[in-house]
Structure 1
Amino acid sequence: MTHRLRCLATLAKIRERERLDAQTQLIAAQQLQDGKSASLTYATDVLAEERRIATAGNVTMETFRVWFPSGLEKIAYATEEYHNASAATETARLFALETAVRHKATETVFRRLEKERNDSHTRREQAVLDELSLRTRQFIGECL
């Protein structure tokens, strides 16, 4: 293997490691986003339940009015956290895509150069065989 091919093989291994790391980061970001989505759903459900209880007459509307701002605050916080997690997931997704493209490009160049090297080696071997065949025929022709 030539120096250039060895360097490309090493680069391909580095790119593969980057790709795997990016995939791991994407999975972690997606899990965080899922958790934030669940938190937002929970905060929204709590608000709906508190409203239902208040309108059913089990709790006074005054108690609900006192609680309501903190419920909205929790929903606003959960919404912001969810949007931040969504943005982080999208960033991780783009990075994973970028690393996959870089890895594929490196692999493609490596395979192309390796094929060129193998083709060149095959052509040299064929030239040697052709030369040997020609000399053998000439030798046989001289012997006859």
Structure 2
Amino acid sequence: MNPRARALQSLIRLRKTEVDQARAELGRVLAHERAAELRLAQSRQQLENEQHEVSAGRTSLGDFRDWLPAGREAIERAHRLVLEAQHMTDQARAGLTQANAALKAAEAVLARWQEEEREKEARREQNEVDDLSRRARSVFG
């Protein structure tokens, strides 16, 4: 195999590895984002539960007032974690997009090179046929 073809195929393997790694990273950050969203939903649900307990008379309004700042802080903290996770997800998606683009570019370079090689081979074969034809005409002509 031609050294250039080997180099291009090595580059393509490297790019495929990068795509695989970018996919894995995206999966990891998506799981992190889902976990953060779940924490936020649980924090909000806890607030609703505490409000219900006060409404039902099972918890005093004073106890609820004492708990409320911590409950709100938990919601705010969970919301910040969701935003951070969404940012990480956006970055991972961009990384995957870039990795895919680099792979496609390397594959396109290899495809163009292979086409050029086929064209060169076809021209060489045609030149051989033309040369044989000229020789035959000069011998039999």
Per the normalisation by structure 2, the TM-score is 0.93
Q: Which position in structure 2 is the counterpart of 1:133?
A: 133
Shift of 1:122: 1.3
Instruction: Return the alpha-carbon distance in structure 2 between the equivalents of residues 49 and 134 of structure 1.
Output: 96
SS of the equivalent of 1:59 reads coil
Instruction: Return the alpha-carbon distance in structure 2 between the equivalents of residues 2 and 117 of structure 1.
Output: 10
Instruction: Return the alpha-carbon distance in structure 2 between the equivalents of residues 9 and 65 of structure 1.
Output: 66
Trace 1:8-19 onto structure 2 (pairs within 5 A).
Answer: 8-19=8-19
Shift of 1:91: 0.7
Q: Which position in structure 1 is the counterpart of 2:57?
A: 57
Residue 6 (1) aligns with residue 1 (2): no
Per the normalisation by structure 1, the TM-score is 0.91
Shift of 1:57: 1.7
Shift of 1:62: 0.8
Residue 107 (1) aligns with residue 107 (2): yes
Q: Which position in structure 1 is the counterpart of 2:70?
A: 70
Shift of 1:17: 0.7
**1:76-106: CA deviation from partner (whole Å, max 9, x where unpaired):** 1111111111111111010010111111111
Q: Which position in structure 2 is the counterpart of 1:43?
A: 43
**1:15-47: CA deviation from partner (whole Å, max 9, x where unpaired):** 111011101100111111011101101110111
Segment drifting more, 55-64 vs 90-99: 55-64
Letter in 2 for 1:48: E
Alignment gaps of 5+ in structure 1: none
Instruction: Return the alpha-carbon distance in structure 2 between the equivalents of residues 45 and 137 of structure 1.
Output: 94
Query: What is the total number of aligned residue pairs between the two structures?
Result: 141
Q: Percent identity?
A: 30
